[in-house]
Amino acid sequence: MAYCLHLANRKQYNKDVGTEKEIEIDLGHKSIKVNARRQGSVYIYSEESTTPVFYQIDAWHEYMHPWYWSKNIYLEAELYSSKITTQANENNDYKNFKASVVIDSVIVIPFQIGSTAYDIKEIIFLLKNSQNANELSISLDDQLIGKIGLSQKKDFLKHVFNFPEKGKRIEPGKHTLKIKLSKSGVELDKIEIIRR
pLDDT at 186 over 60: yes
Task: Write the CB contacts of 132 (distance below 8 Å, at least 6 apart in sequence).
Answer: 152
Q: What is the pLDDT of residue 18?
A: 67
How would you class 42 by CB atoms within 10 Å of its CB: exposed for 0-12, middle for 13-18, buried for 19 or more?
Answer: middle
Confidence of residue 4 (pLDDT cuts 50, 70, 90): low
* pLDDT score, position 93: 87
Percent of the residues in the chain that have a pLDDT greater than 70, as a whole number: 90
Least reliable range by pLDDT among 14-23, 47-56, 97-106: 14-23
The whole-number average pLDDT for the span 131-138 is: 86
pTM for this entry = 0.82
Domain span at 125: 2-195
How far, CA to CA in Å, does 96 sit from each of 103, 167, 181? 23, 34, 28
DSSP-derived 3-state class of residue 11: helix
Residue 164 burial by Cβ neighbours in a 10 Å radius (0-12, 13-18, 19+) = exposed
Which region among 13-22, 84-93, 154-163 has the lowest average model confidence (pLDDT)? 13-22
Rounded to whole angstroms, the Cα distance separating 114 from 171 reads 9
* Average of per-residue pLDDT values in the chain: 83
Alpha-carbon distance 33 to 91, whole Å? Answer: 9
The domain spanning residue 7 has which CATH number?
2.60.120.260
Of 2-16, 27-41, 125-139, 180-194, the least confident: 2-16
pLDDT score of 12: 47
34-78 residue pLDDT tens:
888 777 788 888 888 788 888 887 777 777 777 887 888 888 888
- Greatest mean pLDDT among 38-47, 123-132, 138-147: 138-147
Q: DSSP letters along 62-110, please? A: -SS-GGGS-SSEEEEGGGG-S-EEEES-GGGB-TT-EEEEEESSEEEEE
Number of domains in the chain: 1
